[in-house]
Every structure is written in structure tokens, then in C-alpha cells.
Structure 1
């Protein structure tokens, strides 16, 4: 905190494309095949059709230095979500996440799943509540912040897991999110898992409303499109109060 003339000015955390991991963060993808294989695996959901090793290609960054991963797994051809999604081997509860994506062609489709439950949509051309950067089916799409096809985009998210007492959910999951440096969701509660059992953890429980207290990994969706990811890191948190704003 910096004080100026008796006023307090809080310096926010860096956000946006190119943001580097802070002290205490874990890098989940640095562009290398070695890290992809070490920290990720296929999600063993009911529709899994892919077999290890992960078939997501490591490619040259089309608009930067280094290498990136391409979600276009052959097993997901035709948009068969859940057939070749990848998830971190490590599970998480509360965290700060940074992830960058690049859609190569109009209509490109993927998704970022927090705790392998709650999808933050990656879908070019969709401005609805099912569209780009929406907490899927729960918020409007902040499409105004999207950099567009052929450019890198960044999600910066602070997420707090649902809380339970005596086996019952007493506080919903919550997040605050910046999209390319613009705050687009603030202390947004999340009601349920959408998409059914092929979507993620708890998707098949009571129509997605049967949320459990099981931590989950970060999942990335394969939909048969050339959507790229890079610069993924996470910092585990312990958020005592139901607040995620940053």
C-alpha cells in the first residue's frame, strides 16, 4: 500500500497478456512437452476417447517467442468435448490463476475449467451468456474485452471454492476475473456445473447442482479446433472470507 497525501492507493497485481508468475506461484505450462507430460493428463470422464501420451501438439508461437500447445486433439474431432480434455494432475481449492489463449480461426472453441467444474468459456463469435469469457450460462459475455482472432488473450482469475458444513454447501464458489487487463467479473457466485457428466466433476450430480467438496484440477477443453495456450501459472490461496476481488 502506498500513501499519498493521507490517501491510500492500493497497487493491484499485474494482469494481462505476458504477466509473469509471482513469488510462490507454480508454473503449469511453460511451452515445453516435458511440462505438459509432467503436470497434465487426460481427464478420465465418461466420454474419454484419447490415450496417453497427450496428443496435444507443441507448436511455435504464431505471435510471439517460444512454443505453445494446441488443443486440436484428433480424438476431439467434430467438437466432441470430454473426449480429449486435459487436466492438471494436481487438484486445487482457492487460487489465483493466469492463462493465455490464442484462437487461430473464426469460431474457435475451447474452455477453461476451474476445479474441473466451472467453465470460463473460450469461444470466438459468441457474445451470449454461453460465449467468450462468460462464467458459462451464469454471466453475460464481456466480449468487449476480447482481442480477437489471431491475437493472444489473457484471463486473470482469483477463485474461491465452495464451502460446506455437515456435507451441505453453505457458500457458493466465487471468482473475480480480468480479461486482457479489464475487470469483467467481480465476486461472481457460481451456482452449478453446466454441460452434464461429460463436462466435468459433478456435472452428472443432480443436473449439475449437486456440488461436492472434492478439489479439482485446472482443465482445458479440446473441441477439435486450433486453439492455443501458453503462460499458465497458479498460486494457491486460502481465502477465509467470501471475497475474491483484487
Structure 2
């Protein structure tokens, strides 16, 4: 009961903030409509998958084009969705068949909907192909569901569970550089199913080594470079479903991602 009450209070506070900033309730959470200027990158069809995505060809890459993420159907509606269960990622081989948007970004607002279909299901959403927002059923911690991995624990447990659709709404500001040197770290605000779980959190590094994403092999992940990156979805041998992924490129002058 206490958890339910806390979720209600957090959701109500989030809704009040959204109202004050002029953001529509239809623009966060499951089923959120793309905001003005956003592009839909994955509508659940294979056509959108092949048009807008490519494999990330990192040092562990072992798949080959075309993308082998299988078409699936929403168990609730029968609508088309895409599964992360690429054969090359079997056994938790992250980095072998991860997909990334063909478009690359610095600052952006993103919306991603996912469903974990089995206990322990594992995937991840990588901001700029560097910083992971974890998807991991059954784990709540700095390496668990909705964590900014290894750095920030979500402030609320907003996960709906296996067999339910969940949504991340993210505002991300890339690291800033001056004369080739890092002067401001990347930062992000994240809503999970309409509940704000990370408010303008600074992100220090890439975790997981060179197999995880851009700059993962630079100085133990601390050697961030001034290179744009796409939104990446991780294949890790589980049937995690995705749909309704949209992104809007932003230009965030101030070091603040809150919305």
C-alpha cells in the first residue's frame, strides 16, 4: 500500500509539473504521441526497423545485415512489434547484435516503449550509444531496472512487470568540450511510466567496456569523445519487445535537462 501511495504522489507531482511546463499528458508514458518535430524511428513494423536502424558494429559484432531482430505481435492487441531476440545475442552476448539509429545525436528528447516477456528479461536503452538506461526484470539497484547503469538508482519503482508495456521518456544533453577537453559531463532526466525517476542526473562514463558502446574502451569508459551517437537498443538473448520509439533532436544551451 505504501508503494502504491508513493507512486501516486510521484505521478501526481509529475503531472502538475507537466501541466506547468505546457507538456501534454499524451506526451509521456505508454502510448505517448510524438511531440512536435519528433521523428518516429520504430512503429513496430519491420519497415521502420530497416529504414531507421542499423547494427552497431563494435568490437564484438557478430551479426550481419539485414537486421535479424524478429517481427512479433503485441500479445495484448495483435499489432506488430519488434523483438530484441537476435540469434547473435544468444547467451547474453551484448554488443554482438545491438541496433542503433542511423541518425546520430547530441542533445535529444526520446520516447521508448518496451515489454519484457519473461522473468529475468534483459535489454537496455543507450543514450548516444554510450550511457545505458537499464532494462532488467527482477533487479532493482544501480544495475537494475531503470537505473542509469552503475551510477543512479531510480527514485521510484515504476516498473509494471512481465507482460506489460512500459515507457521511458528521456531528455538528454550531451557532454560539452572546449579545445578538445571535456568541460561538462552528459546529463539526463528520465520518466518511467509517467513517473520522474531521474532528475537532471550527471553521467560520468560509459560502463561495460568496449563491447558496450562508443568510448567504452577509452580510459575504462571515462575517455568520452565529442562524437554524436545514435539511440541504441541492446540484444542480450531475451525476447524483449519494442514499439513506439520516437526522438526529437534538441539544442539545450544550459546544463539542465529537467522537464
Give 3-state SS (helix, strand or coil) of 1:207's partner.
helix
Cα distance in 2 between the residues matched to 1:28 and 1:142 = 28
Name the residue aligned to 2:152.
139
Q: Which has the higher strand share?
A: 1
Range moving further from structure 2, 36-45 or 13-22:
13-22
Cα distance in 1 between the residues matched to 2:66 and 2:233 = 16
Name the residue aligned to 1:90.
103
The correspondence of residues 70-149 of structure 1 with structure 2, limited to 5 A, is 70-142=83-155, 144-149=157-162
Cα distance in 1 between the residues matched to 2:51 and 2:20 = 41
Name which of 20, 24, 44 aligns with 2:37.
24
Cα distance in 1 between the residues matched to 2:63 and 2:155 = 33
TM-score, scaled relative to structure 1: 0.95
Cα distance in 2 between the residues matched to 1:15 and 1:116 = 22
Name the residue aligned to 1:48.
61
The correspondence of residues 1-246 of structure 1 with structure 2, limited to 5 A, is 9-13=20-24, 14-142=27-155, 144-246=157-259
Cα distance in 2 between the residues matched to 1:48 and 1:11 = 43
Shift of 1:142: 4.6
TM-score, scaled relative to structure 2: 0.90
Cα distance in 2 between the residues matched to 1:209 and 1:9 = 37
Q: Which runs of 5+ in 2 are unaligned?
A: 1-18
> Given that residues 154 and 198 in structure 2 are in contact (C-alpha distance below 8 angstroms), is that contact kept between their aligned partners in structure 1?
no
Q: Deviations for 1:90-119, whole angstroms, at most 9, x for unmatched residues?
A: 101111100000000110000000000000
Cα distance in 1 between the residues matched to 2:187 and 2:126 = 13
> Given that residues 92 and 115 in structure 1 are in contact (C-alpha distance below 8 angstroms), is that contact kept between their aligned partners in structure 2?
yes
Give 3-state SS (helix, strand or coil) of 2:49's partner.
helix
Shift of 1:141: 3.8
Name the residue aligned to 1:4.
none
Give 3-state SS (helix, strand or coil) of 1:133's partner.
coil
Cα distance in 2 between the residues matched to 1:229 and 1:160 = 24
**Closer, same or farther: CA 9–120 of 1 in aligned 2, 3 Å:** closer
Cα distance in 1 between the residues matched to 2:156 and 2:20 = 29
Give 3-state SS (helix, strand or coil) of 1:37's partner.
helix
Q: Deviations for 1:195-228, whole angstroms, at most 9, x for unmatched residues?
A: 0000000000000000000000111000000101
Shift of 1:65: 4.8
Over aligned residues, Cα RMSD in angstroms?
1.2
Q: Deviations for 1:143-167, whole angstroms, at most 9, x for unmatched residues?
A: 6110011100000000000000011
> Given that residues 63 and 97 in structure 2 are in contact (C-alpha distance below 8 angstroms), is that contact kept between their aligned partners in structure 1?
yes
Q: Which has the higher helix share?
A: 2
Cα distance in 1 between the residues matched to 2:43 and 2:223 = 35
